């Protein structure tokens, strides 16, 4: 608040600030405040804090106009202090526009609107069907039905080419036009990888929400997992993007009238899904073999069934009982059917 009150005086001393919309400047101060609050929060929790970085002209790639100072008029975006800008409106906006963020990605500019939507219409009740999801690195996810979704590994498949482009950048003279061109080339490369990943996860999450009305998954602390595996697995964990997939499931399930349940990941891989016995195993052991009841299956499949059980337990439901003979029959059927998950 003190910094906001100082803005009028700063505008008098710096004419460049007076050319900007007042709410854009206020939002920049809110970003700084949020960055430092997050920093002190991480310090209190004992995490690696990461002091907020100064964003130079080549790193500050967005600004937000809250409340007012923007509007749409046909195919024009009206921005205060800037004027009308031609845009490509990808979809009709339904609801009240609250904020507008102008963002630059590589050599493209985007207008991102925050919309206050009307209450969603009541969805038609669907037959209850539940699924448990276990996230992993061998397979992106394994379902409690035994189906798996293979890891597309968009980053890993292009890692060598990206390293080649980065070596080319390192040889360019700093401040030169060729260096700026090469930097833009690398930015486009990263954007292409991100777009492929987003497209894949959107399709996958939509298919899961369409097929199942109850979805249970592990509440993973992904950031802590990356810190613990800083050398070996952090790159693969980031490439898997489990967090993005789970966030997509959350909001798409809410829209579709499905229910998402987050469960504690503790002992989901170690516990036998048939008899409940706990048998600790190393991460390298990929098969679950229970010495109590003799159940043998892939550890991720076993974990997905346990996740589903925990999820149903949270809402007062139980997994249908299955006799040992029925379990073996189901396993044999799964082997014969296509094991790879396919979205429509």
Q: What are the tens digits of pLDDT across the range 205-259?
A: 999 998 898 999 988 765 555 445 544 556 666 766 888 888 999 989 888 888 8
Q: pLDDT per residue over 173-210, tens digit each?
A: 998 999 999 999 999 999 999 899 899 999 999 999 98
Q: What is the pLDDT of residue 11?
A: 85
Q: Are residues 135 and 47 in the same domain?
A: no
Q: What is the mean pLDDT of the chain?
A: 81
Choice between 172 and 12, residue whose per-residue pLDDT is larger: 172
Asked if residue 174 is part of any domain, the answer here is no
Q: Are residues 96 and 243 in the same domain?
A: no
Asked if residue 179 is part of any domain, the answer here is no
Q: What is the pLDDT of residue 123?
A: 53
Whether the CB-CB separation of 172 and 178 falls below 8 Å is answered with yes
Asked if residue 167 is part of any domain, the answer here is no
Q: What is the pLDDT of residue 16?
A: 84
Asked if residue 188 is part of any domain, the answer here is no
Whether the CB-CB separation of 278 and 268 falls below 8 Å is answered with no
Asked if residue 192 is part of any domain, the answer here is no
Asked if residue 240 is part of any domain, the answer here is yes
Asked if residue 183 is part of any domain, the answer here is no
Domain count, the chain: 3
Residue 132: CB partners within 8 Å, gap ≥ 6?
Answer: 143, 144, 216, 217, 304, 305, 306, 307, 308, 309, 311
Q: Are residues 35 and 85 in the same domain?
A: no
pTM of the model: 0.73
How far apart are alpha carbons 246 and 133 in whole angstroms? 10
Which of 54, 71, 93 marks a domain boundary?
A: 54
The domain of 88 spans: 61-119
Q: What is the pLDDT of residue 321?
A: 53
Q: Are residues 72 and 146 in the same domain?
A: no
Q: Are residues 13 and 108 in the same domain?
A: no
Q: Are residues 94 and 239 in the same domain?
A: no
Q: Are residues 147 and 289 in the same domain?
A: yes
Residues with catalytic roles? 134, 218, 300
Q: Are residues 99 and 153 in the same domain?
A: no
Q: pLDDT per residue over 132-156, tens digit each?
A: 998 887 888 889 888 888 888 888 8
């Amino acid at each position: 608040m003190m910094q906001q009150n100082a803005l009028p005086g700063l505008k008098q001393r710096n004419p460049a600030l007076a050319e900007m919309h007042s709410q854009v400047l206020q939002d920049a101060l809110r970003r700084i405040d949020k960055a430092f609050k997050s920093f002190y929060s991480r310090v209190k929790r004992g995490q690696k804090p990461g002091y907020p970085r100064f964003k130079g002209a080549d790193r500050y790639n967005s600004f937000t106009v809250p409340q007012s100072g923007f509007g749409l008029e046909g195919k024009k975006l009206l921005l205060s202090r800037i004027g009308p800008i031609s845009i490509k409106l990808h979809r009709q906006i339904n609801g009240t526009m609250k904020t507008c963020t102008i963002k630059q990605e590589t050599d493209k500019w985007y207008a991102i609107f925050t919309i206050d939507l009307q209450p969603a219409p009541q969805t038609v009740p669907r037959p209850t069907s539940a699924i448990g999801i276990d996230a992993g690195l061998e397979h992106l996810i394994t379902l409690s039905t035994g189906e798996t979704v293979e890891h597309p590994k968009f980053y890993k498949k292009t890692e060598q080419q990206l390293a080649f482009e980065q070596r080319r950048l390192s040889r360019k003279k700093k401040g030169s036009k060729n260096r700026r061109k090469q930097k833009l080339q690398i930015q486009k490369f990263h954007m292409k990888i991100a777009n492929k990943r987003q497209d894949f996860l959107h399709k996958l999450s939509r298919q899961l929400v369409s097929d199942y009305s109850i979805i249970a998954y592990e509440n993973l602390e992904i950031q802590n997992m990356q810190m613990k595996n800083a050398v070996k697995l952090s790159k693969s964990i980031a490439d898997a993007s489990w967090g993005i997939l789970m966030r997509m499931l959350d909001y798409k399930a809410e829209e579709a009238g499905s229910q998402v349940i987050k469960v504690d990941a503790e002992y989901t891989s170690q516990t036998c899904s048939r008899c409940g016995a706990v048998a600790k195993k190393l991460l390298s052991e990929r098969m679950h073999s229970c010495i109590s009841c003799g159940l043998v299956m892939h550890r991720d499949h076993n974990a997905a069934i346990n996740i589903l059980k925990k999820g149903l337990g949270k809402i007062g439901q139980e997994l249908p009982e299955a006799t040992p003979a029925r379990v073996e029959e189901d396993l044999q059927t799964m082997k014969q059917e296509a094991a790879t998950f396919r979205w429509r």
